[in-house]
């Protein structure tokens, strides 16, 4: 079976700077690929090409075996490619259902003419998706501001899942979380994987990557320097690849 998502020979330049240089990689359904590299290695630029924030200068993107054009974030979302940014992009002044439904609110008619927000429906649907992901949020009516980092992460993930994400890109999902919450996020990623999603995880936390990733792609100065199977490597090798001590291709 072919990759769920594949990028071929992607190049992205900013003026004279080549941020991503001829990078190819693929992710299968039900697979987690860790994307690693030092600051400025080009990982963020690469995922922003996939999520539609930047257009690539060269290269092609294939999704579900077909070549696709992703010119804007809405294009990516429409295909089911969701990105969970490090800052999570939640409106902290709103509650969980409001964030899950942000931009796609469910309305209902009252008195036959007035279109109002259907809070009860959005509340019930939010509870369902949270239960499906085995996530506990004390009160859905709490504003996001009152939630912990892990709970916020969970809300962001739930939003993607509710809107039928087929592919998830997660930028530093465990950064700034406590140990227990890191573990919870790892569990959630594993659960999503078992549901058949393809997932790219960007992380500096070597420990987490080794727990969730099936494969790793390592970038340095805009180029892909290695692609490793997690079971066949170790943190020392990965670190030396990230900092540039050696180049390996398995």
Partner 1 sequence: MTRRAGITSFVGQRWSVLFFLVELVFFSAVARGFFTLNGVQIVLFYSTTLALLATAETLVIVTGGIDLSVGFVMGFASVISAKLSGRFAEMGLAPELALLLAILITLAIGLLPGFVNGLLVARLKVPPFLATFAVQGITYGTSLLITQGSAAINVPNLANVIGNGYLIYLVPGQGVSLFTRPQVAPGTPVIDIIPTMVVVTVLFVAVAAYLLKRTRFGQHTYAIGGNIDAAMRAGINTNRHLVAIYVISSFLATLSGIIYMMEYVTGKSDAGSSFMLDSVVAVVIGGASLFGGTGTVWRTILGVLILSVLEMGLKIMGVQTFDKYIAVGIILIFAVLIDQFFPELVRKED
Q: How far apart are alpha carbons 60 and 244 in whole angstroms?
A: 27
Query: Which among 114-122, 130-138, 173-181, 226-234 is the span making contact with partner 1, rule CB under 8 A?
Result: 114-122
Q: How far apart are alpha carbons 232 and 105 in whole angstroms?
A: 46
**Contact between 94 and partner 1 per CB under 8 A:** yes
Residue 106 CB, nearest distance to partner 1 (Å)?
9
Q: How far apart are alpha carbons 189 and 195 in whole angstroms?
A: 10
**Contact between 136 and partner 1 per CB under 8 A:** no
**Contact between 124 and partner 1 per CB under 8 A:** no
Q: How many residues of this chain bind partner 1 (CB under 8 A)?
A: 30
Alpha helices in 168-205 (DSSP H): 179-194
Cβ closest to partner 1, residue 152 vs residue 220: 152
Place of tokens 């962001």: 156
**Contact between 74 and partner 1 per CB under 8 A:** yes
Phi and psi at residue 108, in whole multiples of 5°? -140, 160
Query: Which among 25-33, 139-147, 171-179, 241-249 is the span making contact with partner 1, rule CB under 8 A?
Result: 139-147
Enclosing H/E stretch for 155: helix 149-162
Structure tokens at 179: 């140990």
Q: How far apart are alpha carbons 21 and 17 in whole angstroms?
A: 10
**Contact between 120 and partner 1 per CB under 8 A:** no
Q: How far apart are alpha carbons 78 and 23 in whole angstroms?
A: 24
Q: Which of 128, 132, 141, 207 binds partner 1 (CB under 8 A)?
A: 141
Residue 115 CB, nearest distance to partner 1 (Å)?
7
Residues at the interface with partner 1 (CB under 8 A): 73-74, 77, 85, 87-95, 98-99, 102-105, 107, 114-117, 139, 141-143, 145-146
């Amino acid at each position: 079976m072919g990759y769920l998502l594949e990028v071929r020979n992607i190049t992205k330049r900013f003026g004279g700077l080549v941020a991503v240089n001829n990078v190819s990689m693929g992710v299968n359904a039900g697979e987690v690929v860790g994307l690693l590299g030092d600051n400025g290695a080009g990982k963020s630029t690469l995922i922003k090409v996939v999520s539609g924030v930047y257009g690539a200068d060269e290269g092609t993107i294939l999704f579900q075996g077909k070549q696709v054009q992703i010119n804007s974030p809405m294009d990516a979302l429409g295909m089911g490619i969701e990105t969970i940014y490090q800052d999570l992009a939640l409106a902290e002044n709103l509650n969980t259902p409001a964030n899950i439904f942000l931009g796609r609110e469910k309305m209902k008619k009252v008195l036959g003419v007035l279109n109002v927000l259907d809070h009860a429906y959005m509340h019930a649907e939010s509870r369902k998706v949270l239960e499906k992901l085995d996530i506990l949020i004390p009160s859905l009516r709490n504003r996001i501001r009152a939630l912990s980092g892990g709970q916020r992460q969970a809300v962001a993930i739930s939003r993607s899942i509710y809107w039928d994400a087929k592919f998830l890109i997660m930028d530093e999902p465990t950064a700034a979380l406590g140990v227990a919450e890191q573990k919870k996020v790892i569990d959630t990623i594993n659960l999503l994987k078992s549901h058949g999603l393809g997932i790219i995880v960007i992380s500096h936390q070597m420990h987490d990557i080794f727990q969730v990733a099936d494969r790793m792609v390592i970038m340095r100065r805009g180029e892909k320097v290695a692609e490793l199977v997690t079971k066949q490597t170790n943190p020392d090798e990965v670190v030396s690849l990230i900092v540039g001590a050696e180049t390996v291709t398995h």
